[in-house]
Amino acid sequence: MRDKLDSQPISVNNFSPEIILEDHRVKLEPVSESHFEGYSKFMTKPEIWNFAVFKISSNQDVKNFIDRCVRERAERKRYSFTVFNKLDGQICGGSSFLNFSFHDKRVEIGSSFLNPVVLGKGINSSVKFLLLEYAFTVLNFERVEFKTDFYNYRAKAALVKIGAIEEGILKSHTLMHDGRRRDSVYYGIVKSAFESVKKLYQSS
């Protein structure tokens, strides 16, 4: 992991550090307007949004997504990252820290998506590990949580693969972009389990 400003981690009153995280597969940078062209190459693919709360179906939607990420970081609501595939240098997805509780030392990793062409190539595991490492070792948080659609079997399997524990199902939890009400499955990883997560990552 590389944190460009590791002496100035994000905090309850400061989301300004330009956090750069990377490993041998991916590089994560804060979402910016300069990422529009890279995102627009794949974000309108409908299969990306089958289990998402929102849907991107036009270049205007892509612009609105980027604007919202930038705005919500300025408002200290979430910190969104663009994911670059280091194999070809292209943008291949995104993920975010959200639902922060600095008092409870807890955060959610979510709003994650990938270009379908990189599925199964280890990109998701790398992204999740880098964010987990930042949460546990730089922010010194005690818990990271995830939630996903009950019917999103790929996402559920991926969370188990990185060491997340299923914690329960919230029925009729979220209104989806197509009008369906989603049952959300919650997963969590606590700090004491991070060494085991690291071993899973290193063996992947």
d(CA 15, CA 119): 30
DSSP state of 143: E
Q: Residues with Cβ < 8 Å from 54, sequence gap 6 or more?
A: 65, 177
d(CA 68, CA 170): 27
pLDDT of residue 162: 93
pLDDT of residue 3: 46
pLDDT of residue 6: 47
pLDDT of residue 4: 47
pLDDT of residue 200: 85
Domains and CATH numbers, the chain: 21-202 (3.40.630.30)
Q: Residues with Cβ < 8 Å from 104, sequence gap 6 or more?
A: 142, 143
Using CA atoms, how far residue 184 sits from 44, 90, 91, in Å, is 24, 31, 28
Q: What is the pTM of this model?
A: 0.94
pLDDT along the chain (204 residues), means of 10: 59 93 97 98 97 95 98 97 98 98 98 97 96 96 98 96 96 94 97 92 80
| Largest Cα span, the chain | 44
d(CA 6, CA 133): 12
pLDDT of residue 68: 98
